[in-house]
Structure 1
Amino acid sequence: MPRHIVVGVDGSVLATSAVEWAAADAQRRGLSLRIVHVCEHRPYGVDVTKYCTGALAAAADRARDLTRGVEVTTELLSGNAIDALIGESASADTVVLGSRGLGGFAGLVVGSVGLSVAGHAAGPVVIVRGVSVVRHGRVVVGYDGSAHSEAAMEYAIEQARAREAPLHVVFAWQRPLSSPYAAAYSTLLAEALEQESRAMAERVARRREKSPDVEITDEQVVDHPANALIRAGGTADLVVVGSRGLGGFASAVLGSVSHAVLHHVTCPIAVVRPREHHL
């Protein structure tokens, strides 16, 4: 089992927020912290090594100031940032990133690096928009019974346990539009949804039995899953989602729900993919 958290930094304010979140998480969960900076080559032969090493050192100093007994290591990497961070995810418990770095457009909520790493990483990726001073004392997870949501549930339970916080499970489904002339279809649909609702309740109940030390609440709502999670995320310290669920295209690396949550939830968001040995 991976026993370290990786946080990627680039000297930006949001990268500092990511370091602060990662340091707190490492402290809570008894993990070591590995801070990496990908020093990409610049055009025209500009040497940015001094800046890169400075950004890395500043991040390490911040992490050590915030923790006690947490092993903090650093490494300067070369090459493409996305590829390097995805590579780091193979051996990391979690990869933590700021929602945007120094590059790209300032108006973007989540940058291309964060989206790409969240979509392709081997394990959980946490995107931090900023460290909030408000603590709600609650973790929220989106759940639909898919393999990705099962992995998200496992990660969410671990996070809730470490925080000594309750976990709130959200299952949302949309009522399909149907013709008033299709009464038989509507009846079958209602029965199918009722069965699915019972199945979800039973799955959550089994999770409670396996994790009696974690308070687990759940709700089932008739709404788009993204809307339900965005609403629940307004009173959460962390929202956890699978990288994709039962809907959409199987080939999609980042589903529409997780994509919407990343852009509209303001607290840190964990996007979780099942590791290969779990599939």
Structure 2
Amino acid sequence: MSDRGKDAERIVVGVDGSDASKAALRWAVGQGQASGAVVEALAAWEQPVDWYGLVPRTDDKTVAAEAVGERLEGIVAETVGADPRVEVRTTVTQGNPAAVLVDAARDAQLLVVGNRGHGGFSEALLGSVSLRCAQHATGPVVVIRAPK
């Protein structure tokens, strides 16, 4: 993504393929339509790559980034369709998901995350990424619950 600082009318949304992240993406697109903001769907990954079985395990960073990017594009298309009536950009960044999201949202209008990702403690109200984003983001954070 280019010139992030120039486009403060931007909503960053974390997408990991979970039901909660898809709900967050749908909500962010609706908010983008209402406010005229661009939606940046962001996927973060760390070595070793596993992305919860959605991307093949690899040590090659280029292959990993391409695979995560392809998966992210597919999730966005599946979730919001071909014509969401708002610009949706996709970004793939290597790093801790919470840290990447907080950094990406530093100059954004809003950060949107699902309440839970693919982590192991399904009975917890918030996952570690959504909790960390809510605690450390410098701007507003919206946490969207997964549909039941």
User: Structure 2 length as normaliser, TM-score?
Assistant: 0.79
Contact 1:170 1:229 in 2 (8 A): yes
CA separation in 2, counterparts of 1:198 and 1:275? 25
Task: Give the RMSD, CA atoms, in angstroms.
Answer: 2.2
Q: Which consecutive residues of structure 1, in runs of 5 or more, have no partner in the other structure?
A: 1-134, 178-187
Cα shift readout 1:69-121 (whole Å, capped 9, x = no counterpart): xxxxxxxxxxxxxxxxxxxxxxxxxxxxxxxxxxxxxxxxxxxxxxxxxxxxx
What is the DSSP-based 3-state SS (H/G/I as helix, E as strand, rest coil) of the residue aligned with 1:241? strand
Letter in 1 for 2:35: R
Aligned counterpart, 2:76? 204
What stretches of structure 2 of length at least 5 have no aligned partner?
1-6, 50-55
> Which residue type is aligned with residue 189 of structure 1?
R
For the pair 1:137 / 2:9, whether they are aligned, the reply is: yes
Does structure 1 residue 237 correspond to structure 2 residue 109?
Answer: yes
- For residues 181-240 of structure 1, give each alpha carbon's deviation from its aligned partner in whole angstroms, at most 9, with x where no partner exists: xxxxxxx622894544422222224435141x1001111111010011010110111110
Q: Which has the larger radius of gyration?
A: 1
C-alpha contact (below 8 Å) 2:72/2:90 kept by paired residues: no
Residue 267 (structure 1) shift: 1.1
Whole-Å Cα distance in 2 between the matches of residues 244 and 142 of structure 1? 11
Opposite residue 135 of structure 2, the aligned amino acid is H
2: distance between equivalents of 1:264 and 1:216?
Answer: 25
Q: Tell me how far apart the structure 1 counterparts of residues 43 and 71 of structure 2 sit (CA, whole Å).
A: 11
From 216, 230, 235, give the equivalent of 2:88. Answer: 216
**Counterpart in 1 of 2:4?**
none
Counterpart amino acid of 1:149?
A: S
- Which aligned runs of 4 or more in structure 1 are off by greater than 6 angstroms? none
Contact (CA 8 Å) 2:23, 2:114: kept in 1 or not?
yes
Aligned length: 131
Within the candidate set 13, 18, 27, 1:146 is matched to: 18
Is 1:158 the counterpart of 2:17 in the alignment?
no
Contact 1:229–1:261 (8 Å) recurs in 2: yes
Are the structure 2 counterparts of residues 208 and 217 from structure 1 closer, same or farther at C-alpha, using a change threshold of 3 Å? farther
Query: Hey, what does 2:52 align to over in structure 1?
Result: none
Contact 2:24–2:144, Cα closer than 8 Å, also in 1: yes
Contact 1:208 1:214 in 2 (8 A): no
Find the residue that maps to 2:28 and give its secondary structure. Answer: helix
Question: Would you say 1:267 and 2:139 are equivalent positions?
Answer: yes
Give distance in 2, aligned partners of 1:140 and 1:255.
18
What percent identity do the matched residue pairs reach?
36
Is the contact between residue 142 and residue 149 of structure 1 (CA under 8 Å) also seen in structure 2? yes
TM-score, normalised to structure 1, is 0.44
Which whole-Å CA distance do the structure 2 matches of 1:231 and 1:140 have between them?
A: 10
Structure 2 CA distance for aligned equivalents of residues 261 and 205 of structure 1: 25
Q: CA deviation at 1:248?
A: 3.6
Which of 74, 78, 98 aligns to 1:226? It is: 98
Alignment match of 1:189 (pick from 33, 52, 57): 57
Structure of greater relative contact order (alpha carbons < 8 Å, 6+ residues apart): 2
**Distance between the aligned counterparts of 1:248 and 1:256, measured in 2?**
10
